[in-house]
Amino acid sequence: MSDIPNDQPLSDAAAGFAKEQLKSFIERIERLEEEKATISEDIKDVFAEAKGTGFDVKALREILRIRKQDADQLAEHDAIVDLYRQALGMVGG
């Protein structure tokens, strides 16, 4: 025999808690998805504004990608690219 009573109200309570917890997770994710969509639109607007003032959006995206990288990884990547460019005769030297 188990020391834990096997009564229906306890399992109903547990099921109700799990249901509420699941609902809470889903609602939080939905709110975050809405915020993400809003932020994506805001970013798109900033890129359009930058383009309208003459900035190259492709270059801006490249700068953003570079700024996210670790400094050591970036330096290593740049060194490899420079080496390849030299090997292909794409730079003076």
pLDDT in tens, 9-28: 667 878 888 999 999 999 99
Q: Distance between CA 57 and CA 39 in Å, rounded?
A: 18
Q: Distance between CA 82 and CA 57 in Å, rounded?
A: 24
Torsion angle of C-alpha atoms 34, 37, 38, 40, degrees rounded to 10 = 160
pLDDT in tens, 38-86: 999 999 999 999 999 999 999 999 999 999 999 999 999 999 999 999 9
Q: Distance between CA 74 and CA 81 in Å, rounded?
A: 10
Global pTM exceeds 0.85:
no
Q: What is residue 7's three-state secondary structure? A: coil
